[in-house]
Amino acid sequence: MRWLSKFIYHKILGWRAVGFSDFDSVKKAVIIAAPHTHWLDFPIGILLRSVLGVKTNFVGKSSLFKFPYGWIFRALGGAPVQRHENSNQVEVIAKLFHDRDVFRMAMSPEGTRKKVDKWRTGFYYIAKAAKVPIVMIALDFENKQSKISEPYYTTDDKEADFKFMRSFFKGVKGKIPENS
């Protein structure tokens, strides 16, 4: 299946992956992909993980993982979480990292496909609580490339961390450039 993903990703779509690729050395990480401007970001991400040969995960509310679609979400790397008003989702998701030998959770820091001025912070606090690095993936539709960062470990300076991470995505154009 990997050969087919490479064929589609490289030959048909004309995309390439640049940057970090040694995911064997990073068994646990929070992966943030941006800019998230279109539904096509998801299939590009699915192809990319197959091209790189890396297993990634995502979390979703537990009701998504019930019959008849639950097996599809699990096969795609999904992990169900219970969403209760009084539960701390950062702790719940950080526990998933501690309970598994390999867990690389992918998510969008924007939390929406619309234009945003500020990222959501959950991914940051999850990485801190789980003591795992953040790997940034820029989905650059203008240059048809996925730019992948080295693993980044958060510091005690949230403002500096976000400034560093935002700079990685500077100038990257999503599928809908005005939402980038």
DSSP secondary structure of 96-139: HHHH-SSEEEEE-SSSSSS--SS--SHHHHHHHHHT--EEEEEE
What was the pLDDT predicted at 87?
67
* Residue-level pLDDT at 84: 63
Between helix 122-130 and helix 158-168 the angle, nearest 10°, is 110
- Check whether 86 has a pLDDT greater than 60: no
Residue range 27-47, pLDDT digits in tens: 999 999 999 888 888 889 989
pLDDT tens digits along 100-151: 999 999 988 887 777 778 888 999 999 999 999 999 999 999 999 999 999 9
Q: Is the pLDDT of residue 75 over 60?
A: yes
Task: Count the neighbouring beta carbons within 10 Å of the beta carbon of residue 106.
Answer: 23
- C-alpha 123: how far from its chain's center? 9
Q: Is the confidence at residue 5, as pLDDT, over 80?
A: yes
Specify burial of residue 93 (Cβ count, 10 A radius: 0-12, 13-18, 19+): buried
The pLDDT value given to residue 6: 96
pTM recorded for the entire structure: 0.88
| Helices of type H across the chain | 2-6, 41-52, 70-75, 89-99, 122-130, 158-168
Instruction: Report the pLDDT value the prediction gives residue 19, as an integer from 0 to 100.
Output: 96
Mean of all residue pLDDT scores within the chain: 90
